[in-house]
Amino acid sequence: MSATPTGTQTEVEAGSTPQWKKYDKYPIEVDPNQDDKATEIMLCSFDRPHMRAFHCSWFAFFIAFFVWFAITPLIPEIQDSLGLSNEEIWTSNIANVTGTIFMRFLLGPLCDTMGPRILFTMVLAVSAIPTACIGFVNSATGLTVIRLFIGLAGGTFVMCQYWTSKMFTKEIVATANGLVGGWGNLGAGITQLLVGTALFPLFKEIFKGTENPAENAWRTVCIVPAIFALMTAILIYKVSDDTPKGNYHELKKNGAMGEPSAVQSFRKGFYNVNTWLLFIQYGCCFGVELTMNSAAAKYFHDRYRLTTDESAAIASIFGWMNLFARGLGGWLSDIMNMKWGMRGRLYIQLVLLILEGALVLVFAHSDSLIEAINIMVFFSMFVQAAEGSTYGIVPYVAPDALGSVTGIVGAGGNVGAVAFGMAFRDPEIDERKAFIIMGGAILVSALASIFITIDGHRGILFGKDAEETQPRKRNIVPDVA
């Protein structure tokens, strides 16, 4: 149930006291003991600061996916135009997710020092440049290099999850993180559909009087996502806040925030073993999604002899599950936390990964197109639900190094994608065997849930809840009013 607004939102005059904050009242219920974080999610509200940040977070991440995977449904056309081998295509796919690994490690501690808003703006603006330059590619090397730089857009995930973790209380943070992450990831599915079945045919029609309309179309169509990225970067900078109390530079200027050390933040996250257990698990859910984003259209195109338009439409189904599945995983994590605390979050993480791995193995043995599509729908749902449940655990690992933990775990997704991509790239491993390897790895990673032990929280086998972390009830159903 939603709360009645606590008052009209007003700006506090910038004072000299250490307790300075930009807003003295909020149009949403907040917990003053958790830095004025919201205790509810009001989906139809765009009010600053909480819900404005919520919507800016998922939309900016959505546009980042539009940039990041705009080229994916065009791969069959690019392969034909440039005469590339499957190994060369997979090398470019791997480069596309490798560029993000470094960015996620870097952006995590920078979030703790600069805030998510400016970093979102910078990364979107920079990644728009190589996206607009796709038309200049003429070789396998050129394709790999430009996709490496386009992959920088994937680093925006760190800001996406960090932002909502700063805006919503721990009792509902998994639901918030799951919704913004899922709706952002939805950009992958919509990009497959929009670029592959709408923009590409449109641009072919525009160039129908030329010698090679298909090649001219793929060389120019990616200008569209580049423009959207630049527009979104400006929007995010102008209309949002880093935290409930204001932007980082305002808080520092008015003595309400110290100057955090990026190095110290990174060390705290890096030397926490729970960070790396979640790193492995995220590699086996988001890494799987990235692999499918890169491989699905070509897989259906080659295996079932479909056209580029048809294979892109089917591949988009995987991403469309993000509309609800990642949020569902976060919501289930919050529900389990309400009943059993951290142990509940870990139980749901374990179950979701087991179901995900089992369905990958079933998908590997599917022989008909209809069967493959149906299995992919459920397989995708558990992949994304596991992503949501992972980021229900992340904010607890090292709260004072939230950015670093978010970045390192997020990088695990890209490392997983690189590892699985190497299996698909290997000419001695057919696609069915690559899927079996993937499914086996996921099942093994599920066991890591047993060993995650967070200070002050009871795990599946180890640890004990501190008195202040005992499970307590809180309304965690998003309000659409």
- Cβ atoms within 10 Å, residue 59: 18
CA distances for 314 relative to 25, 106, 190, 212, angstroms: 47, 35, 11, 26
> Cα–Cα distance between 213 and 211 in angstroms, integer?
6
Supply the pLDDT for residue 300.
Answer: 85
> Cα–Cα distance between 204 and 214 in angstroms, integer?
5
Token pair listed for 466: 């501190």
Q: Which of the four pLDDT bands, split at 50, 70 and 90, describes residue 8?
A: very low
Token pair listed for 405: 């933990």
Residue 480 has pLDDT above 70, yes or no: no
Residue 478 has pLDDT above 80, yes or no: no
pLDDT tens column, 113-147: 999 999 999 999 999 999 999 999 999 999 999 99
pLDDT tens column, 80-112: 999 999 889 889 988 988 888 889 999 999 999
Residue 481 has pLDDT above 80, yes or no: no
Q: Which of the four pLDDT bands, split at 50, 70 and 90, describes residue 457?
A: confident
Supply the pLDDT for residue 476.
Answer: 57
> Cα–Cα distance between 105 and 152 in angstroms, integer?
12
Token pair listed for 108: 């995590």
